[in-house]
Structure 1
Amino acid sequence: MKYTVAALASLATMVSAHGNITSPLGRIAGAAMAAACGQAAVDAVNIDGTIPLENIQPATADCNLFLCRGATFDDNVDRVQTFTAGQVVDFTAILPIPHEGPCNVSVVDTTTNSVIGDPLIEFESYADEALAQLPANNTAFSVTIPQLAAGQCAVAGQCVLQWFWFGTGAQQTYESCIDFVVA
């Protein structure tokens, strides 16, 4: 079988990893995401868990890639974590292909897809591919769970910790979401 250089480059781009949170456990793609986004979108995420949003092709208008990369709570009810206000939560990221740009972790209300309060951590410049080595805090960092209003993030599926990174040069967006409740 013969492949052109362009075909091989295209294939490498499709399977290359870019970035994802590996700890704490984040949302994964499943049947509910397939119903909202199509099986091809689920397959793309499952083949490359670090795929940028721009490389996922949703099959329906019901697919909201900008909320947890389309992954739904219904596929992740067994992954909900319980945190307390003031608790420090350690994150681990993999960044095999860095793309410099801003990044943050925020508490997001999943009903409105809006950030609650200020970001828990922010990087003005994250995953800068021009650096010989990435700063250690790009792949291992911590956030502190804030004191929220009574009833906020008390019900599973209501809130996520969302890691959001936008590679400005690559024009690519990455998201990971951790479902949680505040005890």
Structure 2
Amino acid sequence: MRASTFLTSTFFAATALAHGNIVSPPVRQAGAVTQQVCGAQAVSALTTDITGPLENVASNGSPDCNIFLCKGIQFEDNQNNVQEFAAGEQVDFAAEIPIPHEGPCNVSVVDLATNTLVGQPLISFASYADEALAQLPLNNTQFSVTMPTDLGTQCQQPGECALQWFWFGTNAQQTYEDCVDFVMTA
């Protein structure tokens, strides 16, 4: 009886933390540089619940830690995780959404130096992860984007650009974000 109660409680606690994240392609992960820039409390929040909203991440107040840019996770912790994409290439995404919160979502190319979008979103959902649905549409957890063909010389250096998955749960007032570092190849 105790083991059953413990397992049930552990399962409930683990799923109660979860909201949503990208599982493929590989996204930024917090490490030593993120801890140095954003603080141990931020890294603890980012690693304890990788699916949690940005509103749950408290930084140390450093101006170099922007929680709303790739969750504050620093590129230097992810230099070995840079993906290579070609113009016009289709990139498949997989997301986990254990606890849906309806709201808009998009995937965009972001200029990391300025935290601005490069062009238009590659995919947009006016209504994403609607908790009122009995089952989420497949395109909420499995979708593809086509890499832009008009980036010119942008996004050719590691650390310059990322694909940013950005989702805002309107009723929950919670923001979810993941970044895929990439370079454009010839």
TM-score, normalized by length of structure 1?
Answer: 0.91
CA distance in 1, matches of 2:126, 2:85: 27
| Change in 2 beyond 3 A, CA 1:82/1:92 | same
Residue 126 of structure 1 is matched in structure 2 by 128
Name the aligned partner's letter for residue 122 of structure 1.
S
Offset at 1:36?
Answer: 1.3
Residue 53 of structure 2 is matched in structure 1 by 52
Offset at 1:12?
Answer: 4.4
- Aligned counterpart in structure 1 of residue 150 of structure 2, from 136, 148, 151: 148
Residue 94 of structure 2 is matched in structure 1 by 92
Contact preservation (8 Å) 2:15, 2:98? no
Residue 3 of structure 2 is matched in structure 1 by none
Contact preservation (8 Å) 1:18, 1:97? yes
1:11-30 to structure 2, matched below 5 A, reads: 12=13, 16-30=17-31
Structure 1 spans left out of the alignment, 5+ residues: 1-7
Contact preservation (8 Å) 1:29, 1:71? yes
Residue 164 of structure 1 is matched in structure 2 by 166
1:116-169 C-alpha deviation (Å, 9 max, x unpaired) = 000000000000000000000000000000013321000000000000000000
Name the aligned partner's letter for residue 146 of structure 2.
T
Offset at 1:43?
Answer: 1.1
CA distance in 2, matches of 1:131, 1:100: 10
Q: After superposing the two structures, state which structure 1 stretch, 12-21 or 92-101, moved more.
A: 12-21
Structure 2 spans left out of the alignment, 5+ residues: 1-8
Residue aligned with 1:137, SS: helix
CA distance in 1, matches of 2:26, 2:178: 9
| Change in 2 beyond 3 A, CA 1:15/1:29 | farther
Percent identity over the alignment is: 59
1:69-80 to structure 2, matched below 5 A, reads: 69-80=71-82
Name the aligned partner's letter for residue 113 of structure 1.
N
Q: After superposing the two structures, state which structure 1 stretch, 14-23 or 168-177, moved more.
A: 14-23
For these two proteins, the number of residue pairs brought into alignment is: 174
TM-score, normalized by length of structure 2?
Answer: 0.90
Name the aligned partner's letter for residue 143 of structure 2.
F
Residue aligned with 1:153, SS: coil
| Change in 2 beyond 3 A, CA 1:132/1:14 | closer
Offset at 1:14?
Answer: 9.8
Residue 178 of structure 2 is matched in structure 1 by 176
Offset at 1:115?
Answer: 0.2
Residue aligned with 1:150, SS: coil
Q: After superposing the two structures, state which structure 1 stretch, 150-159 or 59-68, moved more.
A: 59-68
Name the aligned partner's letter for residue 21 of structure 2.
N
CA distance in 2, matches of 1:98, 1:42: 24
CA distance in 2, matches of 1:19, 1:160: 19
CA distance in 2, matches of 1:13, 1:94: 14
